[in-house]
Amino acid sequence: MTDLASRGAPLPTPTAAPTAAPKRVRLHPFGLDGAPTLLISLATGAALIGLWFLVAWLRLVPPLFLPGPEEVFTQFLAILDDGYAGATLGEHVSASLFRISTAALLAASFGIPLGLAMGLNRWVKGVFDTPIEFYWPLPPLAYLPLMIIWLGIGELSKIVLLTLAMFAPICLSAQAGVRSLPIERVNAALSLGATRWQLFLDIVLPSALPEILTGLRIGIGVGWSTLVAAELIAATRGIGFMIMSASHFLATDVVFVGIGIIAAWAFAFSYGMRLLERTLVPWKGKS
C-alpha cells in the first residue's frame, strides 16, 4: 500500500483536451418526462382537417352526414351575415355566454364558501356531504325535467341547471384545497400569533387557492358540456339551441358550425383560467 506515500504526486493528465463543442448528455428519460408536445398536437390537428377535406372531396360519406370544410365555413359566414332562426349569431352566442357566466358566478359564490366550510367544520361537512354526493354523479339531463316542472321554461331553469352542474366540482375542489393544507403550516402560523380569522385569510385561503382555481376550470368545462342540455328547454336563443334546432332539419353544416363555436369558446375559457392560475398562483408546483 503506497497510498499515503504517493499523496501529493502529480495526477496523470487526461489524454484528450476537451473539444470546442462537447457532446451534451442527460439521464435516460422514462415516459413523457416533460418533453414538448405542442408541435405534435398541431400536426395532428392539421392532419385531421386534411383527412376531413379528403373524405369530403372523395365523397366517401354523403354530405348530409359529413359536410365538407368549405361547406361548413360558407354556412358559418351565412349565419354570421343573416343569423339563424330569427336571431343573429351574436345574439345566440351572447345568450349562451350570459347563461354560462351567470351560472359560473352563482356556482362559485356558493360553492367556494361552502367547500371551504366543509373542509373546516365537521357539522357543515356532515350535513352537506349527503345531498352533494347524491346529486353530483347524476347526468344533468336526468333532472332536467324536474327543473322544467319546478322552475318553468324561462331563463331561471336553464341557469339553475347549469349552476347545479358546475357547483359540485367547484365545491369539492375548495374542500380538497383545505384538506391539502399541511398541519405544520397551521402550527407555524399559530405560533406566530395568528388569530383564527388571520389563519383563515393568510394561510387557509391562499393554500386552497390552487385547488379552487382548478375546480373553477373543471366547473366551467362541465358548464359548457351541459349547455346543450340546458338550451333544450324551450329556448329561442343560444348556441345549444341552434345545434338542436338544426338537427331537426338535418342541417348538419349548422350543427358543425355550432360545435365549432362551442369548442372555440370552451377553449378560450379554459385558456383564460390557465392564465389566471399563472397570475394568481405562480408558486403552484414549486413548493
Partner 1 sequence: MLHVQNASVFFSARDGRMVHALDRATLDIDANSVVVALGASGCGKSTLLNAIAGFLPLSDGSITLDGQPVDKPGADRGVVFQKDTLLPWKSVAENVALGLKFAGVPARDRRERAEELLRLVGLDGFANAAPHELSGGMRQRVGIARALATDPKILLMDEPFGALDSLTREQMQELLIDVWARTGKRIFFITHSIEEALFLGTTVVVMSPRPGRIVARFDLDFVRQFAQERDVRAILSAPRFAELYDEIRNLVHRPHDRSHDGGDRPQ
- Name the residues that contact partner 1, by CB under 8 A: 182-185, 187-195, 198, 202-203, 206, 209, 281, 283, 286-287
DSSP H stretches of helix in the chain: 38-58, 69-82, 89-120, 122-135, 140-151, 155-179, 183-191, 196-199, 205-230, 239-248, 252-280
Between the alpha carbon of residue 164 and those of residues 9, 60, 97, 135, 173, the distances in Å are 79, 42, 17, 9, 15
Say how far apart CA 111 and CA 220 lie, in whole Å. 13
Least distance CB 186 / partner 1 (angstroms)? 9
In the bound state with partner 1, the residue whose beta carbon lies nearer, of 10 and 193, is 193
Least distance CB 277 / partner 1 (angstroms)? 13
Neighbouring-strand partners of residue 87: 84
Least distance CB 217 / partner 1 (angstroms)? 19
In the bound state with partner 1, the residue whose beta carbon lies nearer, of 23 and 286, is 286
As a whole number of Å, the CA-based R_g of the chain is: 28
Least distance CB 112 / partner 1 (angstroms)? 18
In the bound state with partner 1, the residue whose beta carbon lies nearer, of 34 and 282, is 282
In the bound state with partner 1, the residue whose beta carbon lies nearer, of 29 and 182, is 182
Least distance CB 103 / partner 1 (angstroms)? 29
Cell of 178: 383545505
In the bound state with partner 1, the residue whose beta carbon lies nearer, of 25 and 183, is 183
